[in-house]
Amino acid sequence: MVATQHYPPDASTTGVYLGAIAEALAADLDVVVLSGSPNSARDQGNTANLTVVELRNPSPPKRALVLRAAAVSLFALRMFLSVLWRTKADDLVFCVSTPFTLPYAAVLAAKLRGAASALLVYDLYPEALVAARVVARTSVAARILRLLNAHLFRVLDAIITIGRDVKPLLTAYDRVSPDKIHFIANWALLPIGHREMRPDNPFRAGRDAKLVVGLSGNLGFTHDPDTVFQAARLLKDDDRIHFLLSGWGAGWSGLQASQKAVGLSNVTLVEPVAEHQLADFLAAADLWIIPYRAGMLGVSVPSRLYNLLAVGRPIIALAEPGSEAALIVEDEGIGWVVPPERPQDLASAILSAAADPAATTRMGRKAAASAETYTARQALGAYREIISAAHARHQRLQQPRGTA
């Protein structure tokens, strides 16, 4: 039983990954997907073992925090009832940590049915809310979520993370066994291969002589696009460098407001491109920035990074040492790691890239090569293995003593 708010045809990163995971699990198991995405029940996948059940739910704008809180609470309630109704003791319930209310509902229903359960951690709450300054670390909401987490993490049969920096935060909870925590990296959703700079690329038009610095993707509460804008402001008189900024979410609205107020000539804002244009758009920049707020270590991981590797571009990660983004960039030698929320340091890294274009291009080629180590085949095989093992282990533990 796969419980998720996002599922194809939802084209979000979460939706695409969950669709692939569900189909991979269906190669060995009968899989029922409980989806919160519109029209998802129309596409049952390519496997006879896969059934998709759509749970309709309102989706208010991200800035409507009260309405969104009500919507995710309603979704959690509907998911709880659906899992409780459909699940049997010999099943396994697999859910994702987005929205943050989902795991508590799905795992509670699984527990009541005596079924196994597994969680895929994308963002860790309340830590993500604290780091994004939505709630205070000592607030009542944060304390309640930590109490719920303490029980949730103990009863799960498997916890899968997509960042190596998440495990210490999980094991900090009392009686959470490290043995149940597994790391599976995400993978590129674009064909892998270094893209040469093409003068006919529509997103790079007129900027062939410049170092184009890109920013793209969801700019939510865990990201800090303002540091990128401030670095552009510091470099506004350097005619070698141009910024190509795109995205969505609260941070994108902030960038639009900043550019409207200041009007930097070295900045171009581009609305999010269609899926079929994404590879060209990512190939239009010489390097890309992934900007996190301070305090994101182990809290939020960079799914967008793998597509940037796939097109063969170096990366500047505004991230703390030991974070998944920093580990990949440093281990592979494909860019720079800059402390979060430090525009001057970011500007210095960009100047380093501009000073040696040949070295920057070499790092891009290395990035494309490193993307070959993050494949869907490898990741999906690991999901099948871990889920099957957790299911089998749970069944053994449920057997009465003395039985075979």
Q: Please check whether residues 167 and 309 belong to one and the same domain.
A: no
Q: Please check whether residues 230 and 354 belong to one and the same domain.
A: yes
CA quadruple 304, 307, 284, 320: dihedral sign = positive
Q: Please check whether residues 219 and 88 belong to one and the same domain.
A: no
Q: Please check whether residues 162 and 294 belong to one and the same domain.
A: no
Contacts 24+ apart (CB under 8 A), 59-64: 62/220, 62/249, 62/250, 63/250, 63/253
In a domain, 403, yes or no: no
Q: Please check whether residues 115 and 45 belong to one and the same domain.
A: yes
Q: What residue numbers bound the domain in which 337 lies?
A: 211-371
What CATH number does residue 289 fall under? Answer: 3.40.50.2000
Q: Please check whether residues 171 and 232 belong to one and the same domain.
A: no
Q: Is 28 helix (H, G, I), strand (E, B) or coil?
A: coil
The answer to whether 338 touches 345, Cβ cutoff 8 Å, is yes
Give the model's pLDDT for residue 305. Answer: 94
Q: Please check whether residues 355 and 389 belong to one and the same domain.
A: no
Checking if the pLDDT of 354 tops 90, the result is yes
Least confident of 79-93, 289-303, 307-321: 289-303
In a domain, 169, yes or no: yes
Give the model's pLDDT for residue 127. Answer: 86
Q: Please check whether residues 334 and 389 belong to one and the same domain.
A: no
In a domain, 194, yes or no: no
**Using CA atoms, how far apart are residues 54 and 110, in angstroms rounded to an integer?**
19
In a domain, 201, yes or no: no
**Using CA atoms, how far apart are residues 184 and 187, in angstroms rounded to an integer?**
9
In a domain, 167, yes or no: yes
Domain count, the chain: 2
In a domain, 193, yes or no: no
Q: Please check whether residues 254 and 343 belong to one and the same domain.
A: yes
Q: Is 52 helix (H, G, I), strand (E, B) or coil?
A: strand
In a domain, 64, yes or no: yes
Checking if the pLDDT of 201 tops 60, the result is yes
Q: pLDDT confidence of 63, banded at 50, 70, 90?
A: low
Q: Please check whether residues 367 and 379 belong to one and the same domain.
A: no
Q: pLDDT confidence of 221, banded at 50, 70, 90?
A: confident
In a domain, 198, yes or no: no
Q: Please check whether residues 391 and 344 belong to one and the same domain.
A: no
> How buried is 269 (Cβ within 10 angstroms: 0-12 exposed, 13-18 middle, 19+ buried)?
middle
Give the model's pLDDT for residue 45. Answer: 54
